[in-house]
Amino acid sequence: MKTIELQNILDKQPSVSGNTFFIFLVWGISWLLAVFFFVLGIGLLLESLLHYKIFLDFVSRQIHLILDEQQRWKISTSFGLISFVLCFIFVGMIFICKMVLVRNHFIIQIEDWLISEVKEIKLKPRKSRK
């Protein structure tokens, strides 16, 4: 590959550093939501299987709703399963974010190596928005 072609590729490439910060934020939020829905799912399924009063009793008292055992069992089972599905969705987001972060780190390393080793390449300063 010629140096001019490599220079054109580097000039047209968007910055991955901003993308990396955004993906890291999404990764952190996905971790928090995955843990939240996992704990909620376990609590609701324990409430439905062992007839504990963990979450639904508190929520029903706050909104002044009276639930019998059959209604409590159905609600806690369905919401517990939905919470586990949401937990698995956010765990998938964690894996996707991790793959994107590894790819961005690789791109940054390659770009830094090219700039340090190929002396003919000149990096244009990025325009900052103000």
pLDDT tens-digit series, residues 7-33? 777 777 777 777 889 999 999 999 999
The DSSP symbol for 34 reads H
pLDDT at 42 (0 to 100): 93
Q: Cβ contacts of residue 42 below 8 Å, gap of 6+?
A: 80
pLDDT category of residue 128 using cuts at 50, 70 and 90: very low
pLDDT in tens, 49-93: 887 777 877 888 888 888 788 888 888 899 999 999 999 999 999
pTM of the model: 0.76
Q: What percent of the chain has pLDDT over 90?
A: 38
Q: Write out the chain in H/E/C secondary structure.
A: CCHHHHHHHHHHCCCCHHHHHHHHHHHHHHHHHHHHHHHHHHHHHHHHHHCCCCCHHHHHHHCCCCCCHHHHHHHHHHHHHHHHHHHHHHHHHHHHHHHHHHHHHHHHHHHHHHHHHCCCCCCCCCCCCC
